Structure 1
């Protein structure tokens, strides 16, 4: 039995060393936008000569598919949004640890898995958004301040089903503990102006419509709305600048556990962390590069500088269940 297992392992390793071809291209499972992926992988193929095919779906669907396919998967790379999804993929053992000098140099430690199973590719801030017509930005300071009586009937939030929300709560637990976070969440619920929203865009539209004055959203979604309407009567306010710093989440990728082209997949991840790809990714979705040598897009830079939290983003996954339970405890809808 041991000999058979060793043979299977050696065959898997040898298969992972094979080169992608037009008949057997590199395959990426991704939850990212189709147009962005098309431009990105065309650029990679131009630079490397390596053909890439990508398959889209939700993060949950793709992680389940990898788990179901096991050794028979055609996928070499998984690319999804939110650190909690990457943490889950690693926990379900569908990603393989790798060591790369390039990735270690380009991706800060707090933005990657400690075991090297996934690496951030872009960053987004989850911060405060407010009506420029009804709110003085100097009255906004932190996530916790939104639980104070001054914001009673003025706060809009997205639902507890929103993964970005739960990831924020997970990092609040990591920074301040359960009791503190429970008090903040209770205050948020008490201050709600209306029912919670399914997504950040609907929340921002509610602020514009006058249903509420302030909320919490992902920076790139604000950017999309601003791009469509330069006169948007909303602005971002960077939270917790005197504390932990604004909450950071990521998009990221890892090499799959049974990648048919493991070496080539690692090379793709390394390319994604370098300037050309970082610019394509950041420009394509109004996000922040993870490579410190690359500047954010001009539109993103125009929102102003901020200090981001340097908590390990993997905490968004490891504390996800605690965050979900705490939100349910305070009847966060």
Structure 2
């Protein structure tokens, strides 16, 4: 119910924005223009803008940005229907890509370049979207109170050892929804429901803030462990804020394993819009974003891990890249998200 309410609110916002003739930071370009590609993106990073500028320099194709969160963009594309100028949809979560796919907003793309660059478990089996960068959902822990072997599996997050000692963001976080979706795929709903109840029992405080807030809370002694995405921690460890850098001297990272097969990873990725008026340009941009150059630039600038196993992570991300990623297909996360939300809500995870 909570997800449905949020989605309906997003639809209302998108329709209002569409009526005003704007979306995110810019209005859409003309429906068809051989010199542009209309990118509906839920990613808002300087490193991405640098990529689009590089693409334009290399191809002469202008990237027209229409920005918003994933649900707003999905609602907008739905409301635009056949008149949508969307060429390419990009989101920072496999579940969001699945929602766009389920709404029939993405079309299959056959590309030898993309198939060669992106492993099969990081893309839709029918080619409707492709992962471009990876982020691991891991544990930040107080190294003065917690041993690494106490946080080397996902089960341990919910164990009695950490009663009242866990910080975590809300159940609405797409990263948490996708993690719980992956656990449903691996464990089934009964064991996953038990895990969500354990997570709630272990909360040191009601969920609040983003991932960096959880890491800072560990340092402040509010909790001993926290769930976070890898790239937030890497930013803090290598950023300009001296306080955040100091935090990461005490707070360390653990890459827990799921059933002994590796760490849960999510993706940022994109797919060609179902009615893309500039389809060839959209495919060219998607192939560019999957290139070693682009994956390296994003990894360096935003501290995500490249999707391709053949592209090494550059500094400073490389210092955290030596982990085993779970081989599960990220395409399964989305179809479990509604059930994940139900289990989390039933457990009291707000």
> Normalising to structure 2: TM-score of the pair?
0.86
Cα offsets for 1:26-75 (capped at 9, x unmatched)? 11111112522321111001111222211211111111111111221222
Equivalent in the alignment of 1:20: 34
1:132 is the counterpart of 2:143: yes
1:227 is the counterpart of 2:238: yes
**Aligned match for 2:229, one of 218, 224, 229:** 218
**d(CA) in 2 for partners of 1:152 and 1:121?**
37
Equivalent in the alignment of 1:274: 291
SS state at 1:129 partner: strand
User: In terms of mean alpha carbon deviation, does 316-325 or 237-246 score higher?
Assistant: 237-246
Equivalent in the alignment of 1:60: 71
**d(CA) in 2 for partners of 1:19 and 1:312?**
36
Q: 1:33 to 1:155 in 2, by over 3 A?
A: same
**Aligned match for 2:340, one of 323, 326, 329:** 323
Equivalent in the alignment of 1:10: none
User: In terms of mean alpha carbon deviation, does 57-66 or 185-194 score higher?
Assistant: 185-194
**d(CA) in 1 for partners of 2:91 and 2:157?**
30
Runs of 4+ residues deviating >6 angstroms: none
Equivalent in the alignment of 1:250: 267
User: In terms of mean alpha carbon deviation, does 132-141 or 310-319 score higher?
Assistant: 132-141
Equivalent in the alignment of 2:317: 300
**d(CA) in 1 for partners of 2:316 and 2:245?**
11
**d(CA) in 2 for partners of 1:314 and 1:241?**
17
Contact kept in structure 2, 1:175 and 1:244, CA below 8 Å: no
1:283 is the counterpart of 2:300: yes
* Aligned-residue CA RMSD (Å): 1.5
Q: 1:242 to 1:315 in 2, by over 3 A?
A: closer
**d(CA) in 2 for partners of 1:90 and 1:198?**
29
Equivalent in the alignment of 1:9: none
Equivalent in the alignment of 1:15: none
Q: 1:138 to 1:220 in 2, by over 3 A?
A: same
**Aligned match for 2:98, one of 87, 109, 117:** 87
**d(CA) in 2 for partners of 1:190 and 1:108?**
37
Contact kept in structure 1, 2:185 and 2:332, CA below 8 Å: yes
Cα offsets for 1:159-215 (capped at 9, x unmatched)? 111111011001001001111111211111112212212321211111111100101
**d(CA) in 1 for partners of 2:259 and 2:274?**
41
Equivalent in the alignment of 1:167: 178
Contact kept in structure 2, 1:241 and 1:306, CA below 8 Å: no
**d(CA) in 1 for partners of 2:46 and 2:152?**
36
Name the count of aligned residue pairs. 313
Cα offsets for 1:202-241 (capped at 9, x unmatched)? 1111111110010111001111222233332211101016
1:33 is the counterpart of 2:30: no
Q: 1:93 to 1:200 in 2, by over 3 A?
A: same
The structure with more radius of gyration: 1
Equivalent in the alignment of 2:61: 50
**d(CA) in 1 for partners of 2:43 and 2:213?**
20
1:154 is the counterpart of 2:165: yes
Cα offsets for 1:102-161 (capped at 9, x unmatched)? 111111111111111100010000011111232222322211112222111211111111
**d(CA) in 1 for partners of 2:42 and 2:325?**
25
**Aligned match for 1:103, one of 114, 117, 137:** 114
- Structure 2 unpaired stretches of 5+: 1-31
**d(CA) in 2 for partners of 1:93 and 1:211?**
44
**d(CA) in 1 for partners of 2:337 and 2:61?**
37
**d(CA) in 2 for partners of 1:162 and 1:318?**
16
